Amino acid sequence: MVAPFPIRPARLADVPAIHAIERDAFSDPWSPRDFRDCLESELPFLVATSDGGVAGYIVGLQGADEGEILNVGVGRACRRRGLGRALVSAMLTRLAELGAVTVYLEVRESNRPARSLYEQLGFQDIGRRKGYYRDPLEDAVMLKRDIPRG
């Protein structure tokens, strides 16, 4: 079941809340500047809200007929409530609207909950990037999903 979290485009005013989630969720977090750069570059960037605040976010990239999910984070209080699934589904829809027919992403090899979610959403393992993540050093699992043309 997908929880009813409103999802909208990210705004500059969301960056502090997004960065707080990022710092809590990841050992090697993106900086506030990284998120501002994504907004300034007009990348597909969505947030989900709960009780008036940012509960999660997702950043994508689209070029030609390919998309990529660059970053996904869900606030601790909203985990295991369908928010990650809702964000990824919304980004897949947005990337398809922009012309993507294939979407890629990387995930830490040890991140079993995220890998399980991506598999449930139709992503398939296509390889590894050795030593891709740092702090701690870890391989990335590369995943791919085709988006059917409707």
At residue 101, the 3 state secondary structure works out as coil
Q: Computed from CA positions of residues 70, 42, 90, 54, in that sequence, does the dihedral angle turn out positive or negative?
A: positive
Asked if residue 2 belongs to a domain, the reply is no
- Residue 68 and residue 60 in contact, taking contact as beta carbons nearer than 8 Å: yes
pTM of the entire predicted model: 0.93
Residue pLDDT, tens place only, 46-58: 999 988 899 999 9
* CA neighbor of 35 nearest in space, from 25, 26, 27, 46: 46
Those residues with Cβ within 8 angstroms of residue 68's Cβ, 6 or more apart along the chain or in another chain: 60, 61, 62, 103, 104, 105
Average pLDDT over residues 4-30: 95
Residue pLDDT, tens place only, 125-141: 999 999 898 888 999 99
Distance of CA 33 to the CA centre of its chain: 17
pLDDT confidence of residue 1: 39
Asked if residue 21 belongs to a domain, the reply is yes
**Number of domains composing the chain:** 1
Residue pLDDT, tens place only, 60-116: 999 989 999 999 999 998 888 899 999 999 999 999 999 999 999 999 999 999 999
pLDDT confidence of residue 150: 62
Asked if residue 1 belongs to a domain, the reply is no
Asked if residue 111 belongs to a domain, the reply is yes
Alpha helix (H) ranges present in 5-111? 15-25, 32-40, 83-97
Structural domain containing residue 32: 7-146
Asked if residue 55 belongs to a domain, the reply is yes
Asked if residue 105 belongs to a domain, the reply is yes
CATH of the domain at 114: 3.40.630.30
In the predicted structure, residue 2 carries a pLDDT above the cut 70: no
Asked if residue 102 belongs to a domain, the reply is yes
Give burial (CB, 10 Å; 0-12/13-18/19+) of 115: middle
Asked if residue 121 belongs to a domain, the reply is yes
